[in-house]
Amino acid sequence: MEVVNTQFDLQAFYQQLASAESLLLMLDYDGTLAPFTTERDKAVPYPLIVGTLEGLLASDRTRVVIISGRTVDDLKKVLSLENTPELWGCHGLERYSREGQYSIIELSDDVREKLSVLYNWTAENQLVNFCEFKPSGGAFHWRGLPKDEEELIHQKVVDRWRNEADAAHLDLIEFDGGIEIRVAGTNKSSPVAQLMSESSDQIVAAYLGDDRTDEDAFEAIKGRGAAVLVNENLRDTRADIWIRPPDELDDFLRRWI
Ligand SMILES: [Mg+2]
């Protein structure tokens, strides 16, 4: 573990963790709790952390929320934990409470129409096998593909959607292993801001994530909790702390408990 933000006081954070009445732990899924696999439906959590996560979920002291680009349904399938945590899918568009209640933010007719154009275009261009369809758009994945195929998919998506995205209220976002077209403004800063606003001022919070798309969440939690980069490699980041999975991740979660 390394503190990468010199303004961040790790010892003070640990002291707050020990004394706080309520805690909020927000977690990204792919690349953070689970290692990447070329078969996305087989991306289960690191075996090392499963017991620790179960322990965390069994205690009422921490509100644990997984915030992912995946759909809630997809998350439920890969998580396979005894206790299902609160899940916010499609970057917060979908929500699944600990009590098992599902809800989704309604999209406008205009946006829904554009999304159906996107789905048809994906089929017409033989990209269905690479596309993860979701209520918020589509993510095109190329992890494990040869470089030329990756470039072909990337080019096709960018050529077709770059100029139209703005007018269609869609965002074109590159992530580690692909590119996503999604409803504008659905990034991880809104769910983090929402969760923080639902919490008391005294809450101690952290957000853990691996990808460039998690930088929005790091920004949103700045000054109000710990932003934690979970990655094999340190990169230019707005995070406060950098940890390597799975060993340092497990240490962090144990320390949290
Ligand atoms: Mg991730």
**What φ, ψ does residue 36 adopt, rounded to 5°?**
-70, 145
Tell me, what's the pLDDT at 80?
Answer: 85
**First-to-final CA distance of the chain:** 17
Q: Who wins on pLDDT, 223 or 172?
A: 172
Both 159 and 194 in a single domain?
no
Residue that terminates a domain, selected from 124, 152, 183: 183
Give the environment of ion ligand 1: residues with CB less than 5 A: 28, 30-31, 210-211
- Residue 66 belongs to what H/E stretch? strand 62-67
| Separation between Cα atoms, residue 215 and residue 224, nearest integer Å | 15
pLDDT in tens, 192-216: 999 999 998 889 999 999 999 899 9
Q: Is residue 104 part of a domain?
A: no
Q: How far is the CA of 240 from the centre of ligand 1 (A)?
A: 17
How far is Cα of residue 233 from the mean position of the Cα atoms in its chain? 18
pLDDT, tens digit, for every residue of 98-118? 999 999 999 999 999 999 999
CB 113 within 8 A of CB 121: no
DSSP label of 71: -
Are 70 and 9 members of one domain?
yes
Q: Which amino acid is at 34?
A: A
Residue 170 lies in a domain: yes
Based on the domain organization, do 69 and 192 belong to the same domain?
yes
Over pLDDT 90: what percentage of the chain? Answer: 86
Of 125, 156, 183, the residue that ends a domain is: 183
User: Do residues 201 and 176 share a domain?
Assistant: no
Do 191 and 179 share a structural domain? no
> Residue 137: which domain range?
109-183
Could you tell me the distance, in angstroms and rounded to a whole number, from the CA of residue 69 to the centre of ligand 1? 8
- Looking at the fold, whether 80 and 199 belong to one and the same domain comes out as yes
Q: Which of 183, 218, 243 is the last residue of a domain?
A: 183
Distance 27 CA to ligand 1 centre (A): 9
Q: Are residues 88 and 191 in the same domain?
A: yes
Residue in 231, 211, 217, 249 with CA at minimum distance from that of residue 52 = 249
Distance CA 56, CA 232 (A): 24
Distance from Cα 61 to the centre of ligand 1, integer Å = 25
Position 102 in a domain: no
Total domain count, the chain: 2
Phi/psi for 182 (5° steps) reads -145, 160
Residues 122 and 49 in one domain: no
The CATH number of the domain where 133 resides is what?
Answer: 3.30.70
User: What is the Å distance from ligand 1's center to 32 Cα?
Assistant: 6
Residue 210 Cα, ligand 1 centroid: separation in angstroms?
Answer: 5
Residue 166, pLDDT above cutoff 90: no
